[in-house]
Structures are given as structure tokens and as C-alpha cells.
Amino acid sequence: MTAMHELTLTGMRDGLHDGRFTARELTAHLLARIEAAQPRLNAFITITADAALAAADAADARIKNGSARALEGLPIAHKDIFCTDGVRTSCGSRMLEQFVPPYDATAVALLADAGAIVLGKTNMDEFAMGSSNETSFFGDVHNPWREGLSPGGSSGGSAAAVSARLVGAATGTDTGGSIRQPAALCGITGLKPTYGRVSRFGMIAFASSLDQAGTLTRTAEDAALLLGAMSGLDPRDSTSVDAPVDDYVAALDAPLEGLRIGVVQEFMGEGLDADYAVAVRAATAEFEARGATLVNVSLGNIGLSVPTYYVVAPAECSSNLSRFDGIRFGHRADNPADLEDLYRRSRGEGFGAEVKRRIMTGTYVLSAGYYDAYYLQAQKVRRLISADFARAFEDVDLVVGPTTPTPAFGLGEKTDDPITMYLNDIYTIGANLAGLPAMSVPCGFVNGLPAGLQLVAPAFGEGRMLAAAHQYQQTTDWHQKAPGGWS
Amino acid sequence: MSWDVVIGLEIHCQLATRSKIFSSAPTAYGAEPNTQANLIDLGFPGVLPVLNGEAVRLAVTFGLAIGADIAPRSVFARKNYFYPDLPKGYQISQYELPIVNGGTVEITADDGTLRRINVTRAHLEEDAGKSLHENFTDQSGIDLNRAGTPLIEIVSEPEIKSAREAADYMRRVHELVRYLGISDGNMQEGSFRCDANVSLRASADAPLGTRTEIKNLNSFRFIERAIEHEIERQADILEAGGSIVQETRLYDADADETRSMRSKEAANDYRYFPDPDLLPVVIDDAFVDGVRGAMPELPDARKQRFVADYGLRAEDADVLVGQRPMADYFEAVAGSAEPKLAANWVLGEFTAALNRDGTAVADAPVDAAALASLLARIADKTISGTAAKQVFEAMWAGEGDADSVIDAKGLRQITDSGAIEAIVDEVIAASPEQVQQFRDGKEKVIGYLVGQVMKASRGKADPAEVNRVLRDKLTGG
Amino acid sequence: MSIGSDDIEKLAVLARLSFEGDELGDITDKLAAIVAFVDQLGEADTASVTPMAHPLDQVQRLRADAPDADIDRARLQACSDATEDGLYLVPRVIE
Ligand SMILES: [Mg+2]
Ligand SMILES: [Zn+2]
């Protein structure tokens, strides 16, 4: 019999409903794995064992009496960027090391209402600013595929936890690739929905016009299951969209025949690891073999997506992070000499180097004399990039390409050069700038490390995209590969 | 020398919503510190603003009332700066695309004529909290109850020419927002406050001089005095050959002076940018029509109607319309009484009683219907005007309606000429000196004699009848 | 354009950040590199392009004006290190 942790989220659900194991057994088993893995992977910042076991008992009761909800008893973890009522929410920062929010993020509340059980809060780059999980105040997360390598970031803890089979699924957030890139590097499925699909309320803001909550799962099917429960209009988020939530699971059966898939030419050339390119081409060939039509598409301005992002995101973050001033919550410097000292030291001590860098960058691009050249120009280029996607989608249903230029890199390898680190997100940022749904699915290996295929769909095209990924996962088994020692 | 004074005003006016502009916390004034500031007002991590539709409606009401353009699309922006009373480290305001553009406010100019001051814009924004310095030695306490209260900031063109005109403009805007019911206008509580930009130049065609901004003007008296001081201060500097430093100055009402707030100047760069947590506010014609349809008749139109329809003097109409409850009260009285008589009473006895007791129109013990029934008794000659004042006081004191007070006090007018003649005879007999004076041609003495008769009748005699009978007896008799 | 230590101090004051020891040299170098990197945005021809502030073309929803007085000050202030008599404390504010 398959061990419980090897099951997908959907498999766990079936196991619970068939009475093969109880929610308590499942939860206790995974909590033990989390404890054991923690010294090696450091995937969690906070483990909520007692609350999880109590919730598991309640779930078992519901399953028994026939009142189980969609995600009843399913073990998940939340990225530590989502506020959890009564549970410390650090955002990977010293600034919030002691912060216990008196409220739940909407996504957290929705998943709880659907019956999911939270085993803990996962490690992440500080305030989601990073692509390697190395900016976390709580230490590096290791890639389950090879310790010493980065799991990617910023949702690195969530990706490592799902990849190492510590939880059935995890939430993440994606501002420039922070779900898709770690999913690719850890060999799992990562979904960033359309901007506005999932409420941002209670999700600690990095860059408000780019941030979107999503899922890290083993399969597209699991992503569909979770997304349905997390999505929808939230009156507390002005940017959440009042569009019907499709039955994503029911839509998974849509066939690949007739699907038009655009391969982004700009993503297949220089900069992409040659073996990675082979894996991506094999994946597109699989789609074609299954009846999809491949088309070459061009996104003419996508080359400027990284500099655009590194103006827009820091600008918004410099303002979003001003609320951390040492007064109402968060780190407060000892014995401030005066008000200015309170501000500057609370923030100087509470934030790490990368966060300070981005606040400084954002302050610079918004300041008098530079606003037009940087901020406004970036907003205009953003429009051009968005228009490129819109043009491509006149022709095709999905666009695809690699998720990252290379597989997982070594911890410490890129920390000295922010630009090299930023370029890791070169293929993922475009979807954030345009607000489009995108996902990464495992598509092969490069030197024994996972590679990811990225799919991008038109706004609110999650159903079509998930179906394509699910169909791909019916005839490939890359997503079933577990990192050595974690199966 | 004489200087050409150039003044522009920025008025911050709290809008009378029940909840805050971006959160559902209540806006009531005077609660325990930080009990009306919720997660959103406190700027907790991850929380988001959602716009209160009522704040939009009230801002549009103001715009329509001053004849401004309502922006079909306006945008909220963040004004970034650190201050303890500003929880998020930015104020949500409107910058490039405000909700209200243009419009005018009419003032009485220094030369007595009416002049329209152009309004540049009015934008929606959130108020900040308060820093309290009492009770602490080297610390300040922060109360964020006021944080997030909706404001409109009304910015005038620099077309105001004196401290008096500035105060008049402020008063006119204050009257208007209260009339429209979009603000309580309470200046003690900070609901209505003003910043003044003041500069001097040699003549009206010289280029604008360097301006200073005086903050924190929360009364009509203060604004006038603060601007006068500032004009003097600038004139002294310029006349001594100096130059004005562009700066923010704070008016200290206790010391009656303005002083520099250099601390606040330090490297201000607000880095405005569109707030990504809020979307463009789109106002269509239907919305504007809805607001327009729900608006009260505007003060100017109402004033003209009072003059035309009721025959009131323009000055009286102006005073009545200055406060909407007063104008409403007047109209209710005038509905069943002679309008001029109604105006005299509302502006006279009624206003005096309100002022004496510090009572609001809505709380007046004599409502419009009660006053109208009193005036009806004057009109049908049941009581004299003099007696009516006694009746009014008794009604105000809660002694009953007009008819019961009249009966209880026995104030029914004596119109029976026999009874009046008897009193007149008594008075003539008792006042030989005055009678002689009258007969010697001192016409004015008649007033004294009428008064004596009225007194003897305890105000009940019809004064016109008394006058007639007296003259008859003194001349004919 | 190049970024000097004066610029850094000005930005650090605006952003209310302190930089200690090595941090100062590091931020100066790295901010200069980042700015040089984003300078390539200037190459794009955006003459007739409308800036894009939001990914989706949506308009602001309006909330009903319904107050909710359910505010637990003690719980909210438990997140703060310095409160007294319901007030948040800061070093004296000089006006
Ligand atoms: Mg202003
Ligand atoms: Zn203002």
C-alpha cells in the first residue's frame, strides 16, 4: 500500500473518505515527517501541531457523520505571508518575528471553511523579496532534490514542503514568479491565478498590483481542487474580481485536441540552459502528439520585463512597507533617542539587506526628478508587455515556455549580485505584469534536477490552463518523481 | 507702502459619513482613544482599503453645489511621509485626478460688492490621527480614532485679497457644507479647518511673490488674525529689503502669532503614485443625476426665492439661508403666517432665544407650527404684538401652546373701545404734565401716553385703537 | 546616472532606514547597479502609451456606509510594544 505521504491531495481525500486512514493518522504522520525534515530542509517557520491534531479530530467526526466539506481533513501549510489569527505570522522577517495577527487572511479563512488542516507556516524570502529563500530571517531552505541547493523563492518553504511530501499542498504568493519558480526548482506544480482571482486581504503586501496568492501542489488536479476553494470576490479587497469561480476540477477533462499553444520564441533562445530547452521541447512535442497545435509566438517587449518589474515592485513595496514603523506592531528599536531614531533603527534593524535594497530602489524611482524616467516609464512598458500577451492570445489559447533559465542553483551562488538573481525570474515576471494566470508543471530533469514547463493563459483562463496541465500529467510522470530520500 | 495681497485657501472638511472612508470603523467624535480605529485604520499588515460610497456621494454633492465639474474618472494616490499619526506611512489622497474640478464660491469683497472666488479642485482623502503631549514627559501618545475619517480638501485659486475676504470665504464654504448636510462643520472638533497660502507683491500686475503656508486655522477669527499678522510680517521683511522664505508656519492662537515649522520642511518629497490597492473611481451621469436629485435647493436660489416670493429684504433672506435649519424653520412658519411677520419673529425673538440658551433650531421648544399659531393670534388681533412676546416666552418655557397661554394669562386683546376709553381717561387724569406737553405741540409724548395705557391694560389693548382714542380725546376733547 | 553617498543618505532619510557599518558601502554599490540595470527602460519607445497602474481594467467598488463598532483595542494593542492608557507611545513629537 502506498504510504499516506506519497498520496496527492486528491489521493488523501479519497483515502479519508474510503476510510483507509483517519485525518488524525494522516496529520500525525505528516507532523512527524515535518519534525524530522526540519533540521535538513528548514521548510517551516512555525509548526502548529496541536491545533492541527485538534482540527483533524473534528474532521474525522465530520467525515464520519457525513458532513465533510470539500477539503475536509486535508493537510496543508500556509506560506508565512498569510496572516493567521492567533498564529505568529513573520513574513520571513525579523520585523515580524513576534507578530501574532488578530485576523485571518481571506484565503486562510476560505481554506479553513472548506475543512483543510494547517500543519504550519512555511519559510520564505523576507517579505517575499527574493528568488532563493536566502533572504529569510529564519535561515535558508534547502532543496529536497539536493541539499545545499536553493529551493527557489520566495515561496521556497512551501515548495520544499510539498516536494518532500511533508504536506499535501501549500499556499504561496507570486509577485514575479514566487510560486512558479520554486515549483519548477522543486519538481512540483505551482499555480499563480489571474490577478484579482484570490483575495489579497490579509496577505502581507509586497507589490500590490502584482501580488497574487496561489497553490503549490503535486498535480494540476490538486491545484484545481484548492483553487476552487480559495477563489472568489472578497468585499474586503477592492482589487478582487467579481467573476464566477469555475468548477476547475470538472473542467480538467477537456481534451488537448484542437488546443492552440504558442511557444514563446523569446524564451527559447539565449540564456536558457540547453538541456532545459530539450526538456521543454519534449513537453511541447507531447502536447502536439496529443492533438494540440503548436504555434510560434513572439512577445516583443518581454525583454524589458525584468527592469520593468524592478521599478514597479520596489516602488510599491517602498510604500507598502512604510507601515512597519515600530509603533503599532513589529520590531521596535530599544531606547530610541527620538522619533527619527525610533523609525530609522526599528526599520534598519527589522528589515534585512534585500528588503532595504528594494525600499531604497523604490524610494529612488518615485522621488522628485526620477518619477517620470523610471516609475512612469515602467508603467508604460508594462502596458506594452501586457499588449504583447493580448496580441498573442488572439491566436492561441495558451502560451508556453520554460519556467526558469536553469534548474536549482547553489545556496550562496547568486547572493552577491542582485541582478543575476533578478534574472532568474526572466520568464515568469511577464504574467505578473499582465495580471495573467500562469503555472509551472514538472517537465523533465537537467543533471538530475527538475525542470519546469510554464503555461500562461488569458485572464480567468485558469480552467483551460489547468485542464491542459492535467492532460499532460495523464501521459507523463515527471510530476510523480519524488526527490531521493523523501518518498 | 501698500502691498497687493494674494491669498489662496485650502480647507479640510470632514464629511458626515457614519463609517470611515476606507474602513467600517465608526467616525463618532470623542470616543476613548483608539477604540474607533480598526485593523485598516491602524494599517495592519495585509489589510486593504475599500471606498465608502457615501463619501463619494457627499463630495459630488459639494462639487455640484459650487458648479464644479465632477470627474468621470478620479484616482486615489498615496502621499508618502512618516508621522506617528499617519499609520500606514502614507495618506490616501487624490493627486493628479481629483473628483471635483473648478466651481466658484461667492464672497463679499472688501469693497462691498459680491465676487466669485474660483475653486481649483476638491479632492477626497483620509484624515490622520492625533498626537497628544499632555500626561507624558518625553513621549507622545497617539490616538488614531480620527485616522481614516473622510475629508474633502477644497483648494481655492489665489484670488483672495485680504484677511477679511479670507475669513468671508471660509465662512461661506462653512455655511455651504453645513447647509448641504455634508459636514457638521464643527471647528472645535477639527471637522473644518483651513490652511492659508499668503504672498505679497508690489502691484496686481507684478509677478507673484514667495508664499508661506499657515497651517491649523480652525476659526474665522483666527484665520483673519493669522493672515493679518502674516501680511504684516512679510511686509516688514520686504520693506526692510529682505526676502520671504517659502515655508510652513503654524498659527499659535494663544500667542497670537505665526511661527515657522522648519522641522516639517526637512526634505519633503511625498512620492505620490496611484494607490494600487484602489481602482479608478468612475462616476457616470446616472450617479451624478441621483446626487443632484437628492440635493436640497441651493442657498443662492433659495435666497432669491425668499425675496421674490415672500417679499423679504435681501439681508434678511441672506441671514435665514445662512443656516439651513433656520431657513427651513422660516419656511415652515411662513407656510401659515404672513411671511414678513414670520421673518421678523424668526430673526428676532426666536433667534434671540436660541442664542440666549445656546439651543439648536432642531431642539427649540417652540416649533414652527407653534410659532405659526402664535402669529395667527397676532394677525386675528386676539393679542397685541407686545403681549405676543410674553406668550412666546411662556411657550419657550414650556407653559403650553399659544391659545392656552393667552387664556391662562388673560392676554386677550381689549378691542372694545368702551373699555379702552376708560383706561385712556384714567391715564389722562394721572398724567397732566404730559397731556399739557402734548397740547403744547410735543408730538412725541403720545408714545409715552400709549405706553402708559398699554401698561395699565397689561399689554392687552390694541395699540392702534389706543392711539386713535388718545388722539381723539386730547385734540377733539 | 551615478549614485553617491549623499543620494543614499537622502533616500535613507526619506525611507527612514538606518545602515550600519558595511551596509552603507553595500547599498551604495548595489543601488547603483540596480539603477544602471533599470536604465534600459529608457530605450523603449513609449511616446503614445498610457501608463498601466493596474493589471485589470476594473473600476472601484463602493462600500455601503455601515459602521461596525466591534473593535477590540486590547487585542489590537497586544501587537504593540509601547502603549499606555489606550494610546500608542512614541518619543515626544515636536511640532
Ligand atoms: Mg494640502
Ligand atoms: Zn489634505
Q: Evaluate if residue B263 carries a pLDDT over 60.
A: no
How many CA within 13 A on the CB side of residue A105?
30
d(CA A407, CA A185): 6
Strands A438-446 and B139-143: unpaired
Answer yes or no: do C90 and B274 touch at CB < 8 A. no
CA distance B291 to chain C (A): 15
Of A201, A325, A339, the CB nearest to B46: A201
Answer yes or no: do C17 and A318 touch at CB < 8 A. no
A283-308 confidence digits (pLDDT tens): 999 999 999 999 999 999 999 999 99
C-alpha cell recorded at residue B143: 490616538
Other beta carbons within 10 Å of A66: 6
Per-residue pLDDT at C2: 73
CA distance B36 to chain C (A): 7
Q: Which ligand is nearest to the CA of B124?
A: 2
A335-356 confidence digits (pLDDT tens): 999 999 999 999 999 999 999 9
Reported confidence tier of residue B416, pLDDT bands at 50, 70, 90? confident
Mean pLDDT of the B379-402 span: 90
Per-residue pLDDT at A1: 62
Of B35, B137, B140, the CB nearest to C90: B140
Evaluated on CA atoms A158, A162, A168, A172, the torsion sign reads positive
Answer yes or no: do B46 and A203 touch at CB < 8 A. yes
Report the DSSP beta bridge partners of residue B131.
B142
d(CA A122, CA A216): 12
The end-to-end CA distance of chain A, in Å, is 13
Q: Does A209 touch chain B (CB under 8 A)?
A: yes
Ligand 2 ion local residues (Cβ < 5 A): B 153
Contacts of C67 in chain B (CB under 8 A): 18-19, 24-27
CA distance A206 to chain C (A): 15
Per-residue pLDDT at B264: 52
Answer yes or no: do C64 and B53 touch at CB < 8 A. yes
Q: Evaluate if residue C1 carries a pLDDT over 70.
A: no
Q: Which residue has the higher pLDDT, B151 or B435?
A: B151
Contacts of A345 in chain C (CB under 8 A): 18
Per-residue pLDDT at A143: 98
User: C18, C59, C71, C94: best mutation site toward chain B, by most B Cβ within 10 Å?
Assistant: C71
Q: Give the residue among A234, C57, A235 at the shortest CA–CA distance from B282.
A: C57
Q: Which ligand is nearest to the CA of B91?
A: 2
Per-residue pLDDT at B459: 79
C-alpha cell recorded at residue A336: 530610541
Answer yes or no: do B82 and A202 touch at CB < 8 A. no
Answer yes or no: do A103 and B39 touch at CB < 8 A. yes
Q: Does A1 touch chain B (CB under 8 A)?
A: no
Q: Does A154 participate in catalysis according to the annotation?
A: yes
Of A201, A339, A367, the CB nearest to B47: A201
Question: Could you tell me the distance, in angstroms and rounded to a whole number, from the CA of residue B163 to the centre of ligand 2?
Answer: 22
Question: Is the distance from CB of B439 to CB of B449 less than 8 angstroms?
Answer: no
Q: Which chains touch A (3 or more CB pairs under 8 A)?
A: B, C
Lowest-pLDDT range of A369-383, B410-424, C74-88: B410-424
State what percent of residues in chain A have pLDDT above 90: 97
Contacts of A322 in chain B (CB under 8 A): 80, 82, 88-90
A175-200 confidence digits (pLDDT tens): 999 999 999 999 999 999 999 999 99
Q: Does A178 participate in catalysis according to the annotation?
A: yes
State what percent of residues in chain B have pLDDT above 70: 98
Q: Which residue has the higher pLDDT, B462 or A373?
A: A373
Question: Is the distance from CB of A187 to CB of A152 less than 8 angstroms?
Answer: no
Reported confidence tier of residue B468, pLDDT bands at 50, 70, 90? confident
Lowest-pLDDT range of A331-335, A429-433, B469-473: B469-473
Contacts of C89 in chain B (CB under 8 A): 136, 139-142
ipTM over cut 0.95: yes
Q: Evaluate if residue B183 carries a pLDDT over 70.
A: yes
Per-residue pLDDT at A2: 81
C-alpha cell recorded at residue B121: 479642485
Contacts of C8 in chain A (CB under 8 A): 360
Of C76, C86, C93, the CB nearest to B84: C93
SS3 content of chain C, % helix, strand, coil (to 5): 40, 10, 50
Answer yes or no: do C92 and B133 touch at CB < 8 A. yes
Q: Does C17 touch chain B (CB under 8 A)?
A: no
Q: Among A132, A163, A178, A231, which one carries the catalytic annotation?
A: A178
Question: Is the distance from CB of A32 to CB of A2 less than 8 angstroms?
Answer: no
Q: Does A232 touch chain C (CB under 8 A)?
A: no
Closest-CA residue of chain B to A343: B82
Reported confidence tier of residue B380, pLDDT bands at 50, 70, 90? confident
Per-residue pLDDT at B419: 83
d(CA A314, CA A309): 8
Q: Does A205 touch chain B (CB under 8 A)?
A: yes
Q: Among A79, A121, A192, A414, which one carries the catalytic annotation?
A: A79
CA distance B231 to chain A (A): 31
Mean pLDDT of the A53-68 span: 98
Q: Evaluate if residue B425 carries a pLDDT over 80.
A: yes
Mean pLDDT of the B441-466 span: 86
Mean pLDDT of the A66-71 span: 97
Q: Among A90, A93, A150, A154, which one carries the catalytic annotation?
A: A154
Question: Could you tell me the distance, in angstroms and rounded to a whole number, from the CA of residue B227 to the centre of ligand 2?
Answer: 20
Answer yes or no: do B38 and C94 touch at CB < 8 A. no
List CB contacts of A249: < 8 A, sequence separation 6 or more: A221, A224, A225, A228
Q: Evaluate if residue A108 carries a pLDDT over 60.
A: yes
Contacts of C93 in chain A (CB under 8 A): 339
The end-to-end CA distance of chain B, in Å, is 71
Mean pLDDT of the B227-247 span: 94
Per-residue pLDDT at B421: 87
d(CA A80, CA A92): 7
Question: Is the distance from CB of B82 to CB of B124 less than 8 angstroms?
Answer: no
Contacts of A328 in chain B (CB under 8 A): 42-44, 87
Cis previous bond, B93, omega within 30:
no
Q: Does A339 touch chain C (CB under 8 A)?
A: yes
Per-residue pLDDT at B11: 98
Q: What is the pTM of this model?
A: 0.91
Mean pLDDT of the B418-435 span: 89
Reported confidence tier of residue B265, pLDDT bands at 50, 70, 90? low
Answer yes or no: do C84 and B141 touch at CB < 8 A. yes
Per-residue pLDDT at B256: 82
CA distance C1 to chain A (A): 11
Q: Does A198 touch chain B (CB under 8 A)?
A: no
Q: Give the residue among A304, A228, A222, A291 at the shortest CA–CA distance from A259.
A: A291
B51-102 confidence digits (pLDDT tens): 999 999 999 999 999 999 999 999 999 999 999 999 999 999 999 999 999 9
Question: Could you tell me the distance, in angstroms and rounded to a whole number, from the CA of residue B9 to the centre of ligand 2?
Answer: 12
Question: Could you tell me the distance, in angstroms and rounded to a whole number, from the CA of residue B10 to the centre of ligand 1?
Answer: 6
Answer yes or no: do A196 and C58 touch at CB < 8 A. yes
Other beta carbons within 10 Å of B23: 26
Answer yes or no: do A239 and C11 touch at CB < 8 A. no
Other beta carbons within 10 Å of A14: 12
Q: Evaluate if residue C95 carries a pLDDT over 90.
A: no
Of B19, B55, B132, the CB nearest to C66: B19
Reported confidence tier of residue B267, pLDDT bands at 50, 70, 90? low
Reported confidence tier of residue B37, pLDDT bands at 50, 70, 90? very high
Q: Evaluate if residue B467 carries a pLDDT over 90.
A: no
Per-residue pLDDT at B134: 80
Q: Evaluate if residue B242 carries a pLDDT over 70.
A: yes
Closest-CA residue of chain B to A95: B45
Contacts of C80 in chain B (CB under 8 A): none
Answer yes or no: do A236 and B48 touch at CB < 8 A. yes
